[in-house]
């Protein structure tokens, strides 16, 4: 299920190109309605606006976290996840716009060139590390949080645009990572039944 907060068509194309059946749902879709689709996972798309004003959607993401539904947040979806886990956000003095933003993956040390379009960021010090959450990627220009992940839950988010249209295409690997995470989660659930 893809929650459309202002989705770019290339996100849908990127998923379908990988054999994923995508059900696009409008912003404001409830957790019960998402569950009713039978979706194996949820992506929340990029979109405009201040995440502090999106309490209803934050509640939906909070439910997904509590139910351990595989989740990928992109841009606004990243900010919604951060608020759902208890982290805070604030407006950037200068938004991140355009391509060529260097982002470092803290686990691998690899630097990716990203495409960005946002005016808010997650407060790194507010990420609840004692609950298994961690900052996974940072912007090398200003140290802004560019990714979150959980140590064991099938969930992660990124601040930039992995679909890269227009922009760098080297971050589409994140869709592959998400699909593999869904497969592992489904296999684990099947093994526990």
Alpha helices in the chain (DSSP H): 9-16, 31-36, 55-66, 76-84, 173-192
* 137 token code pair: 């990627």
Spot the catalytic one: 78, 96, 101, 161.
161
* 45 token code pair: 């798309």
Query: Would you call 5 a catalytic residue per the annotation?
Result: no
Strands (E), 27-158: 42-44, 71-74, 89-105, 111-122, 133-139, 145-150, 155-158
Query: Would you call 163 a catalytic residue per the annotation?
Result: yes
Query: Would you call 150 a catalytic residue per the annotation?
Result: no
What radius of gyration do the chain's Cα atoms show? 15
First-to-last CA distance in the chain? 24
Spot the catalytic one: 5, 78, 163, 185.
163
Euclidean distance between CA atoms 174 and 79, whole angstroms? 17
Spot the catalytic one: 75, 146, 149, 150.
75
Euclidean distance between CA atoms 80 and 148, whole angstroms? 11
Do the Cβ atoms of 146 and 96 come closer than 8 Å? Answer: no
Active site amino acids: 75, 161, 163
């Amino acid at each position: 299920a893809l929650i459309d907060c202002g989705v770019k068509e290339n996100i849908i194309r990127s998923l379908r190109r990988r054999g994923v059946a995508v059900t696009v749902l409008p912003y404001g879709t409830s957790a019960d309605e998402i569950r009713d689709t039978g979706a194996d996972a949820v992506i929340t798309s990029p979109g405009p606006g201040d995440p502090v004003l999106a309490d209803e959607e934050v509640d939906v993401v909070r439910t997904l976290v509590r139910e351990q539904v595989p989740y990928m947040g992109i841009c606004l979806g990243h900010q919604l996840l951060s608020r759902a886990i208890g982290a805070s956000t604030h407006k950037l003095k200068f938004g991140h716009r355009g391509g060529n933003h260097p982002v470092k993956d803290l686990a691998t040390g690899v630097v990716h060139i990203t495409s960005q379009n946002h005016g808010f960021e997650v407060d790194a010090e507010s990420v609840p590390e004692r609950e298994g959450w961690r900052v996974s990627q940072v912007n090398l220009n200003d140290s802004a949080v560019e990714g979150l992940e959980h140590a064991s839950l099938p969930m992660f988010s990124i601040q930039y645009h992995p679909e890269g249209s227009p922009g760098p295409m080297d971050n589409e690997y994140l869709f592959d990572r998400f699909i593999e995470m869904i497969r592992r989660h489904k296999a684990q659930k099947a093994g526990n039944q």
